[in-house]
Chain A
Amino acid sequence: MLTIKNLHAEVDGKEILKGIDLEIRKGEVHAIMGPNGSGKSSLASVLAGRENYTVTQGEVNFDGKDLLELSPEDRAREGMFLAFQYPVEIPGVSNINFLKTALNEIRAYKGLPAMEAKEFLKLTKEKQQLVEFNANLMNRSLNEGFSGGEKKRNEILQLAMLDPKLGILDETDSGLDIDALRIVAGGVNKLRGPEKSFLVITHYQRLLDYIVPDFVHVLYNGRIVKTGTKELALELEEKGYDWLKEAEVHV
């Protein structure tokens, strides 16, 4: 599904990603953990196509396509979705209109006609229930004045609506109370399937109790310094990241 080879990227002339290798196969869930500033969001940004990052070396293959060649919108249309760590507020663009536009642009790319109003409403209702999203928020401006938790739920609602092949969740659990966390994780679990993959960025092992990953990677100073299974998350929770500094030296 996603193959990253020796990925280097910089922003404002500063190297942030320093050689990342990662392979995510269909149906797998990978978690990335790591201290603040280690480059987790940067990796997500580079994958989504944020323009201020420059890839200096390496390659990324997404389901047979050279990902780095694609515009951000084409990456999304090919089935990549990034749930933002900090979703933006866009006054004046209604949530529902935004979702409809996004859905239909993706459909048009695939050669499908715009979705019928009735069908769209049905889909929206269904996905809203999946993440227990307050229906009143649908007609409000996109994320404007939403609470932190509402914004995060909205990201997962969009993910559910757009039905991507690869969902990247950047700290979707931060700022959620335990009930919201359970709902969001439950939503993701319902979306899991043999054709869908997830990359879950988190600081907290507790999320991984709900979304059980196949692999856990530790990102440290722009590199993946350790890969393990879900037990690694527990170990990190216990010991922190300091012991990995040693590991980095040896890489």
Chain B
Amino acid sequence: MTSDITTPFYQYILDGGNGLTPKEDVLYGVRQDALARFRTLGLPDLKTEAWRYTNIQRVLKEQPFVLQQQALPVTAAQLAPAFIPELSCYRAVLVNGHLQPELSELPAAKDITITKLSEATQQKGFKTFFDKHPHLADQPFAALNTALFADGLFIELKANAVLDKPLHIIHVYTLTQHAFLQPRHLWIAHPHASATVIESTLGLHNDAVAFVNSVNEVVLEENAELWHYNIQNAVQNSRHINQTAARQETYSRYHHYNFALPQATMIRNNTSVALTGSYTETDLHGLYLANGNQHVDNHTFVDHLVPHCNSNELYKGVLLDTANSVFTGRIHVHQDAQKTNAFQQNNNLLLSEKATINSQPQLEIYADDVKCSHGFTVGQFSDESLFYLRTRGIGAEAAKHLLVNAFAFDITDQVHIPALQHYLTEEIRTVISN
């Protein structure tokens, strides 16, 4: 904590954080504890194992910044580019982390509760699950978020509820000055409930820098099923630390898809799942497509605590220009977690000699009757394939696009909503042809 950049940042946060929450706030104690935790954990630097390849200090340099930013007005026309064409869906729009009901189209309340998190603090679900995910405890940025968050989404799917259309959450950022934002979400799917939730982002500011440190706790109770698509796109001048911490009870099924696309400067995802009930299914799938000077870091953690769980992880990366990527895949199979199936694969396609990739599996296996595997590849376009396509009249650009789509196919093919699949394919096309 001696660097020129972080010392004032750190101090600023501690000072600012201290003053943000009034004593009479119901969360005052929780926030003070979190701030103390942050103080103990400290701000990571390159010597911190989990941050070795992501220089977080370098991206904290814009100062001064504000620690809270209310929503600024957003018009329907400004919002429209974030819509997914042909997708029939519900919509929840957040501006700088604050839910905007007048821009949203929320489902009827009989199956599902969607409110501001700040209004949910008296709910049973909030009291049971808020800030309880075991993987958040040692994360400095999660502690910071708990201490400082202004608002976010509270979603509660009632038992047996089946959401008839996907819910599209649009995170809009619009700033007039540099801001360090802390959106905080809690989603709970009660027993036998199921839903599809799509998150995407939209930036409306130009010069101001958005540093978004978001935390999302996701709870799947018995036999619940959730398809969770997280599309990180279209916010220039932004840096994101995004922690999605899920927990799964018996027979639940969690399908997580992450698409990290341009234009954020930096994306760090901590995606983790604690398997606390048996016979669960977990898919962690990611596609990162990075260009320019982008830095994309995916840290995943699948924690097999109990027997008979299946986890399947596939991350694929396409790197252009001078983009950087990091993949760390941690799988922990506890001694009791017999009959675990845990698979992990990370494949990369480097489209530029100046792009780099760091990939490391971290397998910690303490049970003996398990099936686990992991693999890692880096490839380039085969010149031979490119030539073959070109001799058929397919231009170099279109040929590259075909080959990138072919590479990404394992991921995009699993997107179970055709309109979303089409949207993502088009997003990929746009990136490749620029």
Which of B385, B393, B405: most chain A Cβ within 10 A?
B393
Q: A76-B392, A102-B393, A162-B392 in contact; A92/B407 too (CB < 8 A)?
A: yes
Select which of A48, A72, A101, A106 is within 8 A of B402 by beta carbon: A101
Which chain A residues lie closer than 8 Å to B389 at the CB level? 90, 98, 102
Chain B nearest CB from A155 CB (Å) reads 10
Q: In the bound complex, how far is the Cα of B383 from the Cα of A50, in angstroms? A: 10
Residues on A with beta carbons closer than 8 Å to the beta carbon of B391: 48-49, 72-73, 75-76, 81-82
Residues on the B chain within 8 Å of A105, using CB: 393-395, 398
27 A-B contact pairs sorted by A residue (CB < 8 Å): A48-B387, A49-B390, A49-B391, A71-B390, A72-B387, A72-B391, A73-B395, A73-B396, A73-B399, A75-B391, A76-B393, A81-B391, A84-B388, A88-B385, A90-B385, A90-B388, A90-B402, A92-B405, A92-B406, A92-B409, A93-B402, A93-B403, A98-B394, A101-B394, A102-B392, A105-B398, A141-B406
In Å, the complex CA distance between A106 and B390 comes to 11
Contact B407 A109 (CB under 8 A): no
- Once the chains bind, are A76 and B390 in contact (CB under 8 Å)? yes
In whole angstroms, how far apart are the Cα atoms of A48 and B387 in the complex? Answer: 9
A residues 6-51 near B (Cβ < 8 Å) are 48-51
CB distance from A83 to the nearest CB of B (A): 10
Any B CB within 8 A of the CB of A193: no
Q: Which residues of A contact B (CB under 8 A)?
A: 48-51, 71-73, 75-77, 81-82, 84, 87-88, 90-93, 97-98, 101-103, 105-106, 109, 141, 158, 162
Instruction: Given the known inter-chain contacts A50-B387, A51-B387, please indicate yes or no for A102 contacting B394, CB distance below 8 A.
Output: yes
Given the interface pairs A73-B390, A162-B392, the reply to whether A88 lies near B409 with Cβ below 8 Å is no
- Asked whether B388 lies within 8 Å of A158 as measured between CB atoms, the reply is no
Q: In the bound complex, what is the Cα–Cα distance between A87 and B385 (angstroms)?
A: 9
Distance A158 CA – B394 CA, assembled complex (angstroms):
13
B24 at the interface (CB under 8 A from A): no
Which residues on the B side are within 8 Å of A87 (C-beta)?
A: 388
**Is B393 a contact of A106 with CB atoms below 8 Å?**
yes
Total interface residues in chain B, CB < 8 Å: 23
* Consensus secondary structure, chain B interface: helix
Give B409's nearest chain A residue, CB to CB. Answer: A92
| A88–B382 touching, CB < 8 Å | yes
Q: Which of A76, A101, A158 contacts B398 (CB 8 A)?
A: A101
Chain A minimum-CB-distance residue to B383: A51
Query: In the complex, what residues of A have CB within 8 A of residue B406's CB?
Result: 90-93, 141
Interchain CB contact (< 8 A) of B394 among A48, A73, A82, A88: A73
Q: Is B384 an interface residue (CB 8 A)?
A: yes
Residues of B within 8 A of A (CB): 382-385, 387-396, 398-399, 402-403, 405-407, 409-410
Q: Which residue of the partner chain A has the closest CB to B404?
A: A92
Q: Note all chain B residues with C-beta closer than 8 A to A51.
A: 383, 387
What B residues does A49 contact at CB under 8 A?
Answer: 390-391
B388 touches A88 (CB 8 A): yes
Instruction: Give the top 9 A-B pairs by smallest Cβ distance, nearest first.
Output: A92-B406, A76-B393, A102-B392, A72-B390, A106-B393, A92-B409, A93-B406, A73-B390, A88-B388
Taking A48-B391, A72-B387, A93-B403 as known contacts, 18 extra A-B pairs with beta carbons closer than 8 A to each other, sorted by chain A number, are A51-B387, A72-B391, A73-B396, A76-B391, A76-B392, A76-B393, A77-B393, A90-B389, A90-B403, A92-B409, A98-B392, A98-B394, A98-B402, A101-B402, A102-B392, A102-B393, A105-B395, A158-B392
Residues of chain B within 8 A (CB-CB) of A106 are 393
Contact of B393 among A73, A90, A92, A141 (CB under 8 A): A73
CA distance A81 to B391 in the complex (A): 7
A51 to B384, CA, bound (A): 10
| Cα distance, A49 to B386, chains bound together (Å) | 12
In the complex, A98→B402 CA distance in Å? Answer: 8
Q: Which residues of B contact A50 (CB under 8 A)?
A: 387
Taken together as a complex, chains A and B put the C-alpha atoms of A158 and B382 apart, in Å, by: 21
Q: Which residues on B sit within 8 Å (CB–CB) of A82? A: 391
Residues of B within 8 A of A88 (CB): 382, 384-385, 388
Give chain B residues whose Cβ lies under 8 Å from the Cβ of A103.
393
Residues of A within 8 A of B384 (CB): 88
A14 to B399 CA separation, bound complex (whole angstroms):
30
How far apart are the CA atoms of A226 and B234 in the complex, in Å?
64
Chain B residue with the shortest CB-CB distance to A79: B393
CA distance A87 to B392 in the complex (A): 12
- Which residues of chain A come closer than 8 Å to B387, judged between CB atoms? 48, 50-51, 72
> Hey, which chain A residues are within 8 Å of B393, CB to CB?
73, 76-77, 102-103, 105-106, 109, 162
Q: Contacts of A92 on B, CB cut-off 8 Å?
A: 405-407, 409-410
Q: How far is the CA of A76 from the CA of B390 in the complex (A)?
A: 8
Chain A residue at minimal CB-CB distance from B388: A88
Per the bound structure, the CA–CA distance linking A71 and B407 in Å amounts to: 25
CA distance A105 to B395 in the complex (A): 7
Closest approach, in angstroms, between the C-beta of A62 and any C-beta of chain B? 14
Q: Nearest Cβ in chain A — how far from B392, in angstroms?
A: 4
In the bound complex, residues from chain A placing their C-beta under 8 Å from that of B402 are: 90, 93, 97-98, 101
Give A138 to B391 CA distance when docked, in angstroms.
Answer: 19
Residue of chain A at shortest CB distance from B392:
A102
Give the residue name and chain of the B residue nearest to A107 (CB).
B393
Least CB distance from A164 to B in Å reads: 9
